[in-house]
Amino acid sequence: MSHTPIERVAASTPPAIASRVRGLSDRTLAWIFVAPTIFLLLAVNIFPLVWTIRLSLTNYRANRAGAELEWVGLRNYTRILTDPDIWQTMQATAHFLIWTILLQVLIGFTLAWLINRKFRGNDLWTTIIVLPMMLSPAVVGNFWTFLYQPQIGLFNYAVSFVTGIDPSSFSMIGSVELAPWAIVIVDTWMWTPFVMLICLAGLRSIPDYIYEAAAIDRASPWRQFWTITLPMVLPFLMLAVLFRGIENFKMFDLVVQLTGGGPGSTTELTSINLKREAFEKWRTGYASAYAIILFVTVFGLASIYVKALNKVKER
Protein backbone atom coordinates (compact mmCIF):
# COMPACT_ATOMS: atom_id res chain seq x y z
CA MET A 1 0.00 0.00 0.00
CA SER A 2 1.51 3.26 -1.06
CA HIS A 3 0.33 6.18 0.96
CA THR A 4 2.54 9.02 -0.05
CA PRO A 5 2.09 10.64 -3.44
CA ILE A 6 5.63 9.94 -4.49
CA GLU A 7 5.17 6.27 -3.76
CA ARG A 8 2.01 6.22 -5.79
CA VAL A 9 3.64 7.88 -8.75
CA ALA A 10 6.59 5.57 -8.40
CA ALA A 11 4.24 2.60 -8.32
CA SER A 12 2.45 3.73 -11.43
CA THR A 13 5.62 4.25 -13.42
CA PRO A 14 8.26 1.75 -14.33
CA PRO A 15 11.34 1.89 -12.07
CA ALA A 16 13.63 3.19 -14.80
CA ILE A 17 11.37 6.12 -15.40
CA ALA A 18 10.74 6.77 -11.76
CA SER A 19 14.39 7.44 -11.26
CA ARG A 20 14.16 10.20 -13.81
CA VAL A 21 11.47 12.08 -11.86
CA ARG A 22 13.61 14.88 -10.67
CA GLY A 23 13.04 18.23 -9.07
CA LEU A 24 10.76 18.61 -6.12
CA SER A 25 9.16 15.52 -4.76
CA ASP A 26 5.42 15.28 -5.16
CA ARG A 27 4.92 15.45 -1.45
CA THR A 28 6.81 18.71 -1.21
CA LEU A 29 5.04 20.06 -4.24
CA ALA A 30 1.65 19.10 -2.82
CA TRP A 31 2.41 21.03 0.34
CA ILE A 32 3.74 24.02 -1.51
CA PHE A 33 0.62 24.08 -3.64
CA VAL A 34 -1.90 23.66 -0.86
CA ALA A 35 -0.22 25.58 1.92
CA PRO A 36 -0.93 29.16 0.77
CA THR A 37 -4.63 28.43 0.40
CA ILE A 38 -4.86 26.75 3.76
CA PHE A 39 -2.82 29.50 5.36
CA LEU A 40 -5.02 32.21 3.91
CA LEU A 41 -8.17 30.44 5.01
CA LEU A 42 -6.75 29.91 8.48
CA ALA A 43 -5.83 33.55 8.76
CA VAL A 44 -9.01 35.02 7.35
CA ASN A 45 -11.54 32.40 8.41
CA ILE A 46 -10.50 30.14 11.23
CA PHE A 47 -8.47 32.52 13.32
CA PRO A 48 -11.28 35.10 13.24
CA LEU A 49 -13.78 32.39 14.11
CA VAL A 50 -11.81 31.43 17.19
CA TRP A 51 -11.42 35.07 18.06
CA THR A 52 -15.14 35.58 17.70
CA ILE A 53 -15.81 32.75 20.12
CA ARG A 54 -13.44 34.33 22.61
CA LEU A 55 -15.00 37.77 22.20
CA SER A 56 -18.47 36.33 22.60
CA LEU A 57 -17.63 35.53 26.21
CA THR A 58 -16.71 39.13 27.02
CA ASN A 59 -18.36 42.50 27.18
CA TYR A 60 -15.86 43.94 24.69
CA ARG A 61 -16.84 47.01 22.71
CA ALA A 62 -14.70 47.78 19.69
CA ASN A 63 -15.26 51.51 20.00
CA ARG A 64 -13.66 51.57 23.46
CA ALA A 65 -10.32 50.07 22.70
CA GLY A 66 -8.89 51.06 26.06
CA ALA A 67 -11.70 49.80 28.27
CA GLU A 68 -11.15 46.86 30.56
CA LEU A 69 -12.25 43.49 29.25
CA GLU A 70 -14.64 41.63 31.45
CA TRP A 71 -15.45 37.93 31.13
CA VAL A 72 -19.17 37.45 31.22
CA GLY A 73 -19.38 33.75 30.54
CA LEU A 74 -22.44 32.73 28.57
CA ARG A 75 -24.42 35.84 29.49
CA ASN A 76 -24.38 37.18 25.93
CA TYR A 77 -25.82 33.90 24.68
CA THR A 78 -28.64 33.74 27.20
CA ARG A 79 -29.41 37.38 26.57
CA ILE A 80 -29.77 36.79 22.85
CA LEU A 81 -31.79 33.61 23.10
CA THR A 82 -34.26 35.20 25.49
CA ASP A 83 -34.61 38.45 23.57
CA PRO A 84 -38.04 38.68 21.89
CA ASP A 85 -36.65 41.13 19.32
CA ILE A 86 -34.24 38.49 18.07
CA TRP A 87 -37.09 36.08 17.60
CA GLN A 88 -38.96 38.68 15.63
CA THR A 89 -35.88 39.01 13.45
CA MET A 90 -35.75 35.25 13.02
CA GLN A 91 -39.40 35.26 11.98
CA ALA A 92 -38.76 37.91 9.37
CA THR A 93 -35.85 35.84 8.08
CA ALA A 94 -37.97 32.70 7.97
CA HIS A 95 -40.71 34.47 6.02
CA PHE A 96 -38.14 35.75 3.56
CA LEU A 97 -36.45 32.35 3.24
CA ILE A 98 -39.58 30.28 2.78
CA TRP A 99 -41.23 32.50 0.22
CA THR A 100 -38.18 33.29 -1.86
CA ILE A 101 -37.29 29.62 -2.08
CA LEU A 102 -40.83 28.56 -2.88
CA LEU A 103 -41.28 31.15 -5.61
CA GLN A 104 -37.85 30.66 -7.08
CA VAL A 105 -38.26 26.90 -7.24
CA LEU A 106 -41.68 27.17 -8.88
CA ILE A 107 -40.77 29.83 -11.41
CA GLY A 108 -37.24 28.59 -11.93
CA PHE A 109 -38.31 25.03 -12.61
CA THR A 110 -41.10 26.13 -14.94
CA LEU A 111 -38.71 28.32 -16.90
CA ALA A 112 -36.14 25.55 -17.15
CA TRP A 113 -38.81 23.15 -18.32
CA LEU A 114 -39.96 25.64 -20.98
CA ILE A 115 -36.42 26.41 -22.11
CA ASN A 116 -35.79 22.70 -22.43
CA ARG A 117 -38.41 22.69 -25.21
CA LYS A 118 -35.38 23.87 -27.22
CA PHE A 119 -37.11 26.62 -29.15
CA ARG A 120 -35.02 28.77 -31.42
CA GLY A 121 -32.84 31.38 -29.74
CA ASN A 122 -33.31 29.84 -26.31
CA ASP A 123 -29.74 30.41 -25.21
CA LEU A 124 -29.88 34.15 -25.85
CA TRP A 125 -33.13 34.51 -23.93
CA THR A 126 -31.74 32.35 -21.16
CA THR A 127 -28.81 34.73 -20.90
CA ILE A 128 -31.13 37.72 -20.66
CA ILE A 129 -33.04 36.04 -17.86
CA VAL A 130 -29.75 35.34 -16.11
CA LEU A 131 -28.62 38.99 -16.19
CA PRO A 132 -30.10 40.12 -12.85
CA MET A 133 -28.20 37.52 -10.84
CA MET A 134 -24.87 38.63 -12.25
CA LEU A 135 -25.29 42.19 -11.01
CA SER A 136 -24.39 43.87 -7.75
CA PRO A 137 -27.29 43.33 -5.32
CA ALA A 138 -26.53 46.54 -3.45
CA VAL A 139 -26.56 48.70 -6.56
CA VAL A 140 -29.62 47.02 -8.01
CA GLY A 141 -31.42 46.98 -4.65
CA ASN A 142 -30.79 50.66 -4.26
CA PHE A 143 -32.36 51.32 -7.63
CA TRP A 144 -35.39 49.21 -6.78
CA THR A 145 -36.30 51.71 -4.07
CA PHE A 146 -36.84 54.08 -6.95
CA LEU A 147 -39.01 51.58 -8.82
CA TYR A 148 -41.07 51.13 -5.64
CA GLN A 149 -41.75 54.85 -5.13
CA PRO A 150 -45.50 55.30 -4.69
CA GLN A 151 -46.02 58.14 -7.12
CA ILE A 152 -43.19 57.98 -9.57
CA GLY A 153 -42.03 54.39 -9.46
CA LEU A 154 -42.35 52.02 -12.36
CA PHE A 155 -43.49 49.12 -10.18
CA ASN A 156 -46.42 50.93 -8.65
CA TYR A 157 -47.32 52.29 -12.04
CA ALA A 158 -47.27 48.82 -13.58
CA VAL A 159 -49.44 47.44 -10.79
CA SER A 160 -51.85 50.30 -11.23
CA PHE A 161 -51.87 49.74 -15.00
CA VAL A 162 -52.83 46.11 -14.55
CA THR A 163 -55.22 46.36 -11.60
CA GLY A 164 -56.52 49.90 -11.73
CA ILE A 165 -55.44 50.65 -8.15
CA ASP A 166 -54.19 54.19 -7.62
CA PRO A 167 -50.36 54.00 -7.72
CA SER A 168 -50.00 56.41 -4.82
CA SER A 169 -52.37 54.42 -2.64
CA PHE A 170 -49.81 51.83 -1.62
CA SER A 171 -46.15 51.85 -0.71
CA MET A 172 -44.27 48.61 -1.19
CA ILE A 173 -41.40 49.43 1.15
CA GLY A 174 -43.32 51.74 3.46
CA SER A 175 -46.12 49.56 4.70
CA VAL A 176 -45.83 46.85 7.28
CA GLU A 177 -47.98 44.47 5.24
CA LEU A 178 -46.22 44.94 1.91
CA ALA A 179 -42.56 45.42 2.84
CA PRO A 180 -41.89 41.69 3.51
CA TRP A 181 -43.23 41.01 0.03
CA ALA A 182 -41.26 43.82 -1.53
CA ILE A 183 -38.01 42.12 -0.59
CA VAL A 184 -39.32 38.71 -1.65
CA ILE A 185 -40.20 40.09 -5.09
CA VAL A 186 -36.78 41.61 -5.73
CA ASP A 187 -34.90 38.58 -4.49
CA THR A 188 -37.07 36.35 -6.64
CA TRP A 189 -36.43 38.57 -9.62
CA MET A 190 -32.69 38.38 -9.03
CA TRP A 191 -32.21 34.74 -8.13
CA THR A 192 -34.85 32.74 -9.97
CA PRO A 193 -32.37 32.36 -12.85
CA PHE A 194 -29.97 30.53 -10.55
CA VAL A 195 -32.56 27.89 -9.71
CA MET A 196 -33.51 27.83 -13.35
CA LEU A 197 -29.98 27.08 -14.53
CA ILE A 198 -29.53 24.26 -12.06
CA CYS A 199 -32.87 22.76 -13.03
CA LEU A 200 -31.87 23.09 -16.66
CA ALA A 201 -28.69 21.15 -15.98
CA GLY A 202 -30.84 18.52 -14.30
CA LEU A 203 -33.27 18.31 -17.18
CA ARG A 204 -30.47 18.02 -19.69
CA SER A 205 -28.88 15.23 -17.70
CA ILE A 206 -31.89 12.97 -18.33
CA PRO A 207 -31.02 10.74 -21.24
CA ASP A 208 -33.51 10.71 -24.11
CA TYR A 209 -33.81 6.95 -24.15
CA ILE A 210 -35.72 6.95 -20.87
CA TYR A 211 -38.46 9.06 -22.42
CA GLU A 212 -38.34 6.95 -25.55
CA ALA A 213 -38.88 3.84 -23.48
CA ALA A 214 -41.73 5.52 -21.62
CA ALA A 215 -43.35 6.54 -24.87
CA ILE A 216 -43.19 2.98 -26.12
CA ASP A 217 -44.97 1.97 -22.89
CA ARG A 218 -47.60 4.56 -23.80
CA ALA A 219 -47.07 6.55 -20.62
CA SER A 220 -48.92 9.88 -20.84
CA PRO A 221 -46.79 13.08 -20.80
CA TRP A 222 -48.28 13.84 -17.39
CA ARG A 223 -47.16 10.47 -16.09
CA GLN A 224 -43.74 10.89 -17.69
CA PHE A 225 -43.37 14.16 -15.89
CA TRP A 226 -44.19 12.67 -12.50
CA THR A 227 -42.31 9.42 -12.87
CA ILE A 228 -39.28 10.50 -14.86
CA THR A 229 -38.71 14.25 -15.05
CA LEU A 230 -39.43 15.27 -11.49
CA PRO A 231 -37.61 12.45 -9.68
CA MET A 232 -34.55 12.87 -11.87
CA VAL A 233 -34.42 16.63 -11.40
CA LEU A 234 -35.16 16.44 -7.68
CA PRO A 235 -31.53 16.14 -6.50
CA PHE A 236 -30.65 19.19 -8.58
CA LEU A 237 -33.63 21.08 -7.25
CA MET A 238 -32.68 20.22 -3.69
CA LEU A 239 -29.17 21.45 -4.32
CA ALA A 240 -30.54 24.72 -5.65
CA VAL A 241 -32.65 25.04 -2.52
CA LEU A 242 -29.59 24.45 -0.35
CA PHE A 243 -27.62 27.15 -2.10
CA ARG A 244 -30.44 29.67 -2.05
CA GLY A 245 -31.17 28.80 1.57
CA ILE A 246 -27.62 29.47 2.70
CA GLU A 247 -27.36 32.62 0.61
CA ASN A 248 -30.63 34.07 1.81
CA PHE A 249 -29.93 33.22 5.42
CA LYS A 250 -26.86 35.44 5.03
CA MET A 251 -28.84 38.05 3.09
CA PHE A 252 -27.64 41.56 3.73
CA ASP A 253 -26.81 43.80 0.77
CA LEU A 254 -30.04 43.64 -1.20
CA VAL A 255 -32.41 44.08 1.73
CA VAL A 256 -30.36 46.68 3.55
CA GLN A 257 -30.48 48.82 0.44
CA LEU A 258 -34.16 48.15 -0.19
CA THR A 259 -35.77 48.68 3.18
CA GLY A 260 -32.93 49.03 5.67
CA GLY A 261 -34.92 46.62 7.83
CA GLY A 262 -37.98 48.85 8.02
CA PRO A 263 -40.66 49.86 8.43
CA GLY A 264 -40.14 49.42 12.14
CA SER A 265 -38.36 46.10 12.23
CA THR A 266 -40.60 44.37 9.72
CA THR A 267 -37.86 43.33 7.34
CA GLU A 268 -34.96 43.35 9.74
CA LEU A 269 -33.30 40.08 8.75
CA THR A 270 -30.71 38.55 11.05
CA SER A 271 -27.74 39.94 9.13
CA ILE A 272 -29.12 43.47 9.30
CA ASN A 273 -29.88 43.07 12.98
CA LEU A 274 -26.39 41.74 13.56
CA LYS A 275 -24.87 44.65 11.69
CA ARG A 276 -26.71 47.11 13.92
CA GLU A 277 -25.48 45.38 17.05
CA ALA A 278 -21.91 45.05 15.86
CA PHE A 279 -21.23 48.20 13.88
CA GLU A 280 -23.77 50.75 15.01
CA LYS A 281 -24.22 49.96 18.69
CA TRP A 282 -20.68 48.55 18.85
CA ARG A 283 -21.65 45.81 21.28
CA THR A 284 -18.87 43.64 19.94
CA GLY A 285 -19.04 40.87 22.53
CA TYR A 286 -22.79 40.56 22.25
CA ALA A 287 -22.64 40.64 18.45
CA SER A 288 -19.94 37.97 18.45
CA ALA A 289 -22.19 35.64 20.41
CA TYR A 290 -24.94 36.44 17.94
CA ALA A 291 -22.64 35.60 15.04
CA ILE A 292 -21.73 32.26 16.58
CA ILE A 293 -25.39 31.41 17.09
CA LEU A 294 -26.13 32.20 13.45
CA PHE A 295 -23.16 30.20 12.28
CA VAL A 296 -24.18 27.17 14.30
CA THR A 297 -27.73 27.51 12.97
CA VAL A 298 -26.66 27.60 9.31
CA PHE A 299 -24.21 24.77 9.82
CA GLY A 300 -26.72 22.63 11.66
CA LEU A 301 -29.53 23.17 9.18
CA ALA A 302 -27.22 22.71 6.22
CA SER A 303 -25.79 19.42 7.49
CA ILE A 304 -29.24 17.99 8.21
CA TYR A 305 -30.28 19.04 4.76
CA VAL A 306 -27.20 17.56 3.08
CA LYS A 307 -27.95 14.24 4.78
CA ALA A 308 -31.47 14.32 3.34
CA LEU A 309 -30.05 15.27 -0.02
CA ASN A 310 -27.69 12.32 -0.03
CA LYS A 311 -30.57 9.99 0.75
CA VAL A 312 -32.48 11.33 -2.25
CA LYS A 313 -29.42 10.90 -4.42
CA GLU A 314 -28.96 7.31 -3.34
CA ARG A 315 -32.46 6.38 -4.41
Partner 1 sequence: MSGYSITEPTPRQKWIAGTLVVLYALITILPLLWIIATGFKSPADAIAYPPKVVFDPTLEGYVNLFTTRSRATPEALEAMGPPETWYDGIVRQYGMVISGPSRYGERFLNSVVIGFGSTFLSVFLGTLAAYAFSRFKVPLKDDLLFFILSTRMMPPIAVAIPIFLMFRTLGLSDTHLGMILLYTAVNISLAVWLLKGFIDEIPREYEEAALIDGYTRFQAFYKVVLPQAATGIASTAIFCLIFAWNEYAFAVLLTSGQAQTAPPFIPTIIGVGKDWPAVAAGATLFLLPVMVFTILLRKHLLRGITFGAVRK
Partner 2 sequence: MKTKGLLAVTGMAAVAGFAATGAQAEDLTLCWAAWDPANALVELSKDFEAQSGHTMHFEFVPWPNFADRMLNELNSGGQLCDLMIGDSQWIGGSAENGHYIKLNDFFDANGIKMDDFIDATVTGYSEWPKNTPNYWALPAFGDVVGWTYRKDWFERPELMEEFKGKYGYDLAAPKTFAELKDIAEFFQNRDIDGKTVYGASIYTERGSEGITMGAMDVLYSFGFKYENPDKPYDMEGFVNSPGAVAGLEYYKALYDCCVPPGSSNGYMSEGIDAFKSGQVAMQMNFAFTWPGFESDANVGGGKTGYFANPAGPDGEQFAQLGGQGISVVSYSTKQDAALEYIKWFAQPDVQAKWWQMGGFSCLKAVTLAPDFPASQPYAQTFLDSMAIVKDFWAEPSYATLLQDTQKRFHDYVVAGQGTAQEALDGLVQDWTETFEDDGKL
Rounded Cα distance, 269 and 124, in Å: 35
Closer to partner 2 by CB, 36 or 66: give it: 66
* Residue 90 to residues 56, 81, 271, 286, 307, Cα–Cα distance (Å): 20, 11, 10, 17, 24
Given a contact cutoff of 8 angstroms between Cβ atoms, the answer to whether 254 and 138 are in contact is: yes
76 touches partner 1 (CB under 8 A): no
* Residue 301 to residues 96, 257, 296, 304, 306, Cα–Cα distance (Å): 16, 27, 8, 5, 9
Closer to partner 2 by CB, 93 or 266: give it: 266
Residues 163-202 that bind partner 2 (CB under 8 A): 168-169, 171, 173-176
Helices and strands: H and E segment counts in the chain: 16, 0
* Residue 79 to residues 14, 20, 267, 286, Cα–Cα distance (Å): 66, 65, 22, 9
Rounded Cα distance, 14 and 29, in Å: 21
Look at residue 173 and give its three-state secondary structure: coil
* Interface residue with partner 2, options 64, 204, 223, 313 (CB under 8 A): 64
The phi, psi pair for 192, rounded to 5°, reads: -55, -40
What's the closest the beta carbon of residue 57 comes to partner 2, in angstroms?
15
228 binds, among partner 2, partner 1, none (CB under 5 to 8 A by kind): none
135 touches partner 1 (CB under 8 A): yes
Closer to partner 2 by CB, 54 or 61: give it: 61
169 binds, among partner 1, partner 2, none (CB under 5 to 8 A by kind): partner 2
Rounded (10°) angle between helices 84-115 and 179-204 = 40
51 touches partner 2 (CB under 8 A): no
* Interface residue with partner 1, options 71, 87, 226, 299 (CB under 8 A): 299
Residues 273-292 that bind partner 1 (CB under 8 A): 274-275, 278-279, 284, 287-288, 290-292
280 binds, among partner 2, partner 1, none (CB under 5 to 8 A by kind): partner 2
Residues 21-60 that bind partner 1 (CB under 8 A): 21-24, 26-27, 29-30, 32-34, 36-38, 40-41, 43-45, 47-49, 51-52, 55
* Residue 237 to residues 90, 95, 118, 234, Cα–Cα distance (Å): 25, 20, 20, 5
* Interface residue with partner 2, options 135, 281, 303, 312 (CB under 8 A): 281
What's the closest the beta carbon of residue 71 comes to partner 1, in angstroms?
17
The phi, psi pair for 174, rounded to 5°, reads: -100, -15
Residues forming contacts to partner 2 in the complex (CB under 8 A) are 59, 62-66, 85, 149-151, 168-169, 171, 173-176, 259-266, 276, 279-283
